[in-house]
Amino acid sequence: MRLRDEARAELLRETAYYESKREGTGKRFRESVAASFDLIRRFPSGGAPGPASTRRTKVKGFPFTVIYRDEPAAVIVFAIAPDRYQPGYWLPRTD
């Protein structure tokens, strides 16, 4: 599994945000994202289909979605997308 730089930045930013709001919440967020990654690794075609041949999997307990594509060499994560953002803001990353 490979995270695009933008997805890695989103993960770090949101983890820090949640931790700043309440101690331990950032850790719970990170663990929920990791659980989503594990699910994607086991069942890469299990996510709901999206544009540009992507798939999406919800992050349990948080308003986020992991946007990814199962490519021959690896699963590529394009975004840890907040549900409140404009849909498809991450599409330019898929080129």
43-85 per-position pLDDT tens digit? 999 999 999 999 999 999 999 999 999 999 999 999 999 999 8
Q: Which helix (H) or strand (E) holds 75?
A: strand 75-82
Work out the average pLDDT over 20-46: 97
pLDDT at 89: 96
Q: What angle do CA 11, 84, 9 make, to 5 degrees?
A: 20
Q: What is the pLDDT of residue 47?
A: 97
Token pair, residue 70, equals 């199962």
Closest C-alpha to 10, from 74, 71, 75, 83: 83
Position 38 scores a pLDDT of 98
Average pLDDT of the chain, as a whole number: 97
Domains by residue range for the chain, with CATH: 2-94 (3.30.2310.20)
Q: What is the strand order of the sheet 2-3 is part of?
A: 2-3, 75-82, 64-70, 55-58, 48-49
In this structure, what DSSP letter does residue 4 have? -
Return the pLDDT at 40.
98
Closest to 35 in 3D by CA, of 17, 51, 54, 59: 59
